[in-house]
Structure 1
């Protein structure tokens, strides 16, 4: 690959990355639900998928700090989207459950992902196993490069 082709591919990668960042900052609504940013929607998603998970487990699933999950949870509780529940076996062990609006958001997010992943799966069906393996390897290498760069700044 020559320099111009390489630069074109990297520009495309950065455009995709910037689009993802842009979407993370725009509040989303699913069929009239409370508009929320992606991080809060993903917390709702994890609570819906793992209803027995405590705060520590949710942070592990999301890859964020306990403080971040606590702040998001407080904001979602104020909006009556989730509620805090003490576990029966341990009063210190707090978990969360979805309120009615939280369930609507969870369901809307699931439907959104089904549509998105359906489109992506259709695209991937046009590639050979070897082609997909090359794409996966390339994405892994980008991720490694980004993590390496992050560790240096």
Structure 2
């Protein structure tokens, strides 16, 4: 019999890949001209207070160099803008422009549509099932962060 850990990890990877494969055409059509990495950075800039290259790299699991390239592209597309605070003239932060907010809204609306499409999977789930899944994910992420 196969190791249950192996089976679980295979199932999680397959599920993740299947979700991406299923959603990708709709995401690409609605967000034409933007890469998935750019969309991820837009999302993080919206959610992280005083988002800078270091915070974005950590949140996206990318290098600071990769984030610098992505933010440069987004600046050129007028999706984000840079700013500094009066307290810290050295550090550069990013925020969304109005156009960036529009792109983020399209992305958020798509994810809401995906949740509605998949509602039949979530409706029968109990609080206990959610808690078990969240505990497992939390333990695994904590383990990965410890072993960096």
Shorter-chain TM band: 0.5 to 0.7
Q: Which runs of 5+ in 2 are unaligned?
A: none
Deviation at 1:120, TM superposition (A): 5.1
**Residue in 1 that maps onto 2:14:** 15
**Residue in 1 that maps onto 2:50:** 52
**Residue in 2 that maps onto 1:89:** 87
Pick from 103, 106, 126 the counterpart of residue 104 of structure 2.
Answer: 106
Deviations 1:32-69 (A, max 9, x none): x5432222101101212235323223233333322221
Note the aligned Cα RMSD (angstroms).
4.0
Deviation at 1:95, TM superposition (A): 0.9
Contact 1:84–1:94 (CA<8 Å) still a contact in 2? Answer: yes
Distance 1:123 1:23 in 2: 15
Normalised to the residue count of structure 1, the TM-score between the two structures is 0.65
Q: Which runs of 5+ in 1 are unaligned?
A: none
Distance 2:8 2:48 in 1: 38
Normalised to the residue count of structure 2, the TM-score between the two structures is 0.67
Query: Cα 1:55–1:23, aligned 2, differ >3 Å: closer, same or farther?
Result: farther
**Residue in 2 that maps onto 1:125:** 123
Query: Cα 1:46–1:115, aligned 2, differ >3 Å: closer, same or farther?
Result: same
Deviation at 1:106, TM superposition (A): 0.8
